[in-house]
Structure 1
């Protein structure tokens, strides 16, 4: 840090002083050294004129001699300028981050120096692991061990963080928990709109309550809040490095009290908060009237994302895995805002797949279920379904091989029970089993979270086969395999319970417009989307423009319109339709729009092209008119995919205007055009056969679409 000299002027750093250049006295590195790549040489000597001058060598040799030890080992001398580089100054008002004399290099080396040796437990196929070989004799050997073994032979774990910077950063993270009541209120608002896929209202309520109690115990009757949080931070590091102990009779409050003082649990609160903020409007009273800290929604969302990332780094440094850590990584992927084409999202998916395998979520069996409380077993099933489905969704979006393969996993269907029944004891939950059929579906015909998870799992299993077909290096037998998968998809849908069956005749008559039909509509559009992807593969890889592609596209658009009509009836809460409209509806509408444009263009028309079904052309135009209006107004500006939705809507309007009034000039748009780049329609010839899907496939989405799984 620059210190004033006797004349009152600030001292210059050593490179600037020796070069006689003007120094800007910035700390810890001046701007001139930073621009010239001399950051490692930049430091401020407290008394530069008192440094001993380097003595010139009396004997000058043309060839430098290597100093050798008697055993012919080379001696390398360390440059004193590098070793004396000053460490960066701590922020104002905070204690020093490092010990005196530590350099950035020393800090980096210390961070990667192994403090304790940790070993990974083998999986079910750990055939060459000695521990796994003798596992079946473990009980016998334990019974024959003498009881007088000294306790000193048992290795102990590290009891405190090795880096004081981490403890200080932990204090800054814990300081945000003073707003835990406010965070809990925001999460509760989201649960009323869309309960979590694996952490529902009772679980998030118990999580926030235990976190609030932990914070209150730490700062209660303490005159120095910073010191109290520092003690809590060190204790959390100790707990994070240990395994979580559970037993079959453990209840929900007891379990969350045991995991509250862990970094993965702290990060989970902020990950849930970040997800909840996506479902909370900016003008909600919780921000305008019940916000004593005057934090804007965007600021709070950035804090939640950053704290969640920091807690993930703390857990990675501890080298242990736990159920809350699996929940945290899963929830963090859902909250990331980089965009699904960003490498960091793909990297985090790799972390999730590693944790799934390392923690054993891909294993299942009665012996495993008997060792844990009932609610934890069910949560693990749902977490595994979410991880598997996210893997398939992101692999489909990026066109990459999936990382979680079902052939190496046992992924059971979660029970179709409510969260209130899930948190009961195993004996009490047996009453809830009476409302389930033999396959685990509810008999009341409700579209519950359990129904959605089970359908998502069934369609994701199909998606894995679709990805294998799409990414296969060979095109042999693709047509036969695609037709087989289409039949498999239809058979799987037919095997669903009766309240999820879809009848085309009743759908055409408009019978599916009531609350009891939400389940069948959800299942139908999910399975129809799988068929759409298969027909799309045939078009991209074999050039086969099949009739099924047009029919499945029209069916997706029609079903989305039915869902919107069902949700806009009085006294019904409107759900977020951005995902369905952008990622399912827009590709289907693009196929239909391109088909209309191709048939309408006289110079590009082909008599052998695939025709529309009976009355299909007029019906398609009507559906696209309705769809483009919903696409414009149901994807608000702050939602993901807004710009893409507006671009797609603008293109569909242009095509419909050309088809309906070819001789008339293009009418003015009904609403002001958004600001789009001038070349967003480059390569799109409205007089020719436009490949709308080529544009759609190259979209870089502004935000991560995985919030569909929240």
Structure 2
């Protein structure tokens, strides 16, 4: 087991202190939650935030308390966790939080706070001194803290499914803070692609997994896939995620929040889908647009293969040939 130095524990304590301000930013988080298409992740984050130790939410948390908690979080992060196949989304959050939270969940919460801060168009909250909050500066601070947490997780040497979600969100926040053209964003995308392949997100989730988690994993994969194709298109670089090696299906066309409901409600929701996973209610929701975007990205990958491939002669002929293959 890695030996955590006092300096690392101190760094962790400083990061945990950022969560003490969470109650102040909850209105902004709730506003951000409403516009997210990663519904299962939002529900999951809500549950995680609700399970934050009460003492940590207190702004007067002592340095000794934070240092002790930081040490426990390091120990918890270093302990691999097995997952019950019948667990619900809310139970999964409770399972991972447990008595002490791990750094993966700290990153998720800090990144969610950062993404909500960067999305603020105008300042409408104030701190205790009645001075306006600099949301951009706050997003930078939270991003740096999130990067530190990811470094903590990498030192442990094992990656879990929650870790893949946090890498995706960390990548998105990097693009929002530094812009897509920043080299670090390209590196973050590479880390994301590597994590997806390492954990098997490019394949269909195991059938014994609960639907809420399967759909969450599918959403994470296809969000990463679409981001990869967008970067490849805008920068003229080869994509990192090759769809030819991916068997993961599109997320189902379910309404927001349905995946977090009980088994009976989920069964009713599934009965309202056709054999391809589209809803039969003529309702165009976020999941619908996500599925449309996935299809568009698949076409984009074919175009990228033609335009960025080594053989760029007779593109029209190659396009016709590929079209004929798809029709077979």
Q: Structure 1 length as normaliser, TM-score?
A: 0.43
Q: Helix, strand or coil: the match of 2:178?
A: coil
Is the counterpart of residue 329 in structure 1 residue 148 in structure 2?
A: no
Q: Distance in 2 between matches of 1:291 and 1:276?
A: 22
Counterpart in the other structure of 1:482: 319
Give the secondary structure class of the aligned counterpart of 2:214: helix
C-alpha contact 2:113 2:142 (8 A) present in aligned 1: yes
Tell me the secondary structure at the aligned position of residue 143 of structure 2: helix
| Aligned counterpart in structure 1 of residue 134 of structure 2, from 260, 272, 296 | 296
**Within the alignment, does 1:374 sit opposite 2:211 as a pair?**
yes
RMSD of Structure 2 on Structure 1 (CA)? 2.6
- 1:275-332 deviation line (CA, Å, top 9, x unaligned): 2223322233xx2488868532122112221111111111111111112211111011
Match of 2:148 among 301, 310, 322: 310
What's the offset of the Cα at 1:485? Answer: 6.4
Match of 1:339 in 2: 179
Equivalent pair of 2:45/2:108 in contact (CA under 8 Å): no
Deviation at 1:344, TM superposition (A): 0.8
Superimposed CA distance per residue, residues 26-48 of structure 1 (whole angstroms, 9 cap, x where no aligned partner): xxxxxxxxxxxxxxxxxxxxxxx
Choose which of 109, 123, 127 in structure 2 pairs with 1:269. Answer: 109
**Distance in 1 between the 2:92 and 2:298 partners?**
32
Structure 2 counterpart of 1:196: 37
Is structure 2 residue 192 aligned with structure 1 residue 355? no
Secondary structure of the residue aligned to 2:274 is coil
Q: Which residue of 2 aligns with 1:396?
A: 233
Which of 233, 246, 260 is the aligned partner of 2:70? 233
The 5-angstrom pairing of residues 15-164 of structure 1 reads 158=1, 161-164=3-6
Alpha-carbon spacing, 1:162–1:463, altered in 2? closer, same or farther (3 Å): same
Kindly tell me: are residues 338 and 486 of structure 1, through their superposed partners in 2, closer, same or farther at Cα, counting changes over 3 Å?
farther
Determine the C-alpha separation between the residues in 1 that align with 2:212 and 2:10.
Answer: 35
2:40–2:257 Cα contact (<8 Å) kept = no
Alignment of 1:209-608 (within 5 A): 209-211=50-52, 214=53, 216-217=54-55, 225-260=62-97, 261-284=101-124, 287-288=125-126, 295-336=133-174, 337-364=177-204, 368-370=206-208, 372-483=209-320
> Which structure 2 residues correspond to residues 631-646 of structure 1 after superposition, within 5 A?
none
Deviation at 1:197, TM superposition (A): 2.7
Higher RCO (C-alpha under 8 Å, 6+ residues apart): 2
Q: Partner of 1:30 in structure 2?
A: none
Distance 1:240 1:227 in 2: 20
The alpha-carbon distance between structure 1 residues 451 and 273, as it changes in their structure 2 partners (threshold 3 A), is same
Aligned-partner Cα distance in 1 for 2:227–2:179: 14
1:416 to 1:228, Cα distance in 2 relative to 1, 3 A: same
Whole-angstrom distance in 1 between the partners of 2:285 and 2:44: 17
> How many aligned residue pairs are there?
322
Where does residue 17 of structure 2 map in the other structure?
175
CA distance, structure 1, for counterparts of residue 216 and residue 170 of structure 2: 17
Q: Aligned partners of 2:68 and 2:89: how far apart in 1?
A: 27
- Contact between 1:422 and 1:429, CA under 8 Å: does it hold in 2? yes
Q: 1:270 to 1:217 in 2, by over 3 A?
A: same
**Per-residue displacement from partner, 1:58-87 (whole Å, max 9, x unpaired)?**
xxxxxxxxxxxxxxxxxxxxxxxxxxxxxx
Go from structure 1 to structure 2 and tell me whether the alpha carbon gap of 1:431 and 1:219 turns closer, same or farther (over 3 Å shift): closer
Is the 1:267–1:308 contact (alpha carbons within 8 Å) kept by the matching residues of 2?
Answer: yes
How many angstroms does 1:486 deviate by?
7.7
The CA deviation string for residues 7-59 of structure 1, in whole angstroms up to 9 with x for no partner, is xxxxxxxxxxxxxxxxxxxxxxxxxxxxxxxxxxxxxxxxxxxxxxxxxxxxx
* Cα distance in 1 for residues equivalent to 2:225 and 2:252: 17
Q: Which structure 1 segments of 5+ residues have no match?
A: 1-157, 492-710
Partner of 1:636: none
- Whether the 8 Å contact between 2:19 and 2:110 is mirrored in structure 1 is no
Secondary structure in 2 aligned to 1:414?
coil
> Is residue 268–residue 328 contact of structure 1 (8 Å, CA) maintained in 2?
yes
Normalising by the residue count of structure 2, what TM-score does the alignment of the two structures yield? 0.89
Q: 1:413 deviation in Å? A: 1.2
Give the Cα–Cα distance (whole angstroms) in 1 for the partners of residues 285 and 85 of structure 2.
26
CA offsets, 1:320-371, max 9 Å, x none?
Answer: 1112211111011111122222221111111101110111111215xx121x
Q: Is the 8 A contact 1:270 1:307 kept in 2?
A: yes
Closer, same or farther: CA 358–255 of 1 in aligned 2, 3 Å: same
Q: Give the equivalent residue in structure 2 for 1:166.
A: 8
CA distance in 1, matches of 2:25, 2:322: 45
